[in-house]
Chains A and B, each alone.
Chain A
């Protein structure tokens, strides 16, 4: 098991719902990431936070809203999603001064109905 946990592990939501994904890292890292993993596509980087500051927003639609209250917690707030947003959402963390070695959580399997 890695030191990165994600909740919930599974989520089904309607297009008009609002929900949040949570990630927590117990590794003492300073950078956290959200990735989207869809079938038949490479992992896509969504957001990067380094020392709680957002340093990357990879052209993600505004219906996805990240929040990083401290270096151990990361949230992804979801609202008015589309069915094509159904995917596995993965959180990762790394040392702030070593962005290379990223450690992933188990992911949240999201289904939008």
Chain B
């Protein structure tokens, strides 16, 4: 099966600065990597994703990069704002051996300091 490691567990940045969260995965067969944002009292919200045939994807202030050789992918948030404060989860999609589904990292608590 898949194993996803996520770092750091907590990240504090000044408002306006950039934030980077990194994940590594173990199964080279994984082919889809979403990022979720979870605010207090809510379920995870899909914010961006990337498939294994693409190296980078951007959506306004957020971007995700994927290095298939090294088996790691990262979330980049530029010009951070107070509303970016939340817990962010990376995940890898594993298909095979009768087990289809997302394997999640442990999450990063992002704190935007005013």
Chain A contact residues, CB within 8 Å of chain B: 2, 4, 6, 33, 40-43, 45, 48, 55-56, 58, 90, 92, 99-107
Question: Which of A4, A101, A102 is packed against the most chain B CB atoms within 10 Å?
Answer: A102
Interface string of B29-57 (1 = CB under 8 A from A): 00010101000011111100101000000
Among residues of A, the one whose C-beta sits closest to the C-beta of B89 is A43
The answer to whether A4 and B107 have CB atoms under 8 Å apart is no
Instruction: Please pick, from A33, A42, A92, A104, the residue contacting B107 in the complex, using a CB distance under 8 A.
Output: A42
Interface size on B, residues (CB 8 A): 25
Chain B contact residues, CB within 8 Å of chain A: 4, 32, 34, 36, 41-46, 49, 51, 89, 93, 95, 98-107
Report A-chain residues with C-beta under 8 Å of the C-beta of B103.
42, 45
- Provide the bound-state CA to CA distance between A42 and B93, in Å: 14
- Provide the bound-state CA to CA distance between A53 and B46, in Å: 25
Beyond contacts A90-B44, A102-B34: 9 other A-B pairs, Cβ-Cβ < 8 A, are A2-B45, A4-B43, A42-B89, A42-B106, A56-B100, A101-B49, A103-B46, A104-B44, A106-B42
- Provide the bound-state CA to CA distance between A87 and B98, in Å: 26
- Provide the bound-state CA to CA distance between A92 and B102, in Å: 11
Among residues of B, the one whose C-beta sits closest to the C-beta of A33 is B101
Question: Which of A42, A55, A56 is packed against the most chain B CB atoms within 10 Å?
Answer: A42
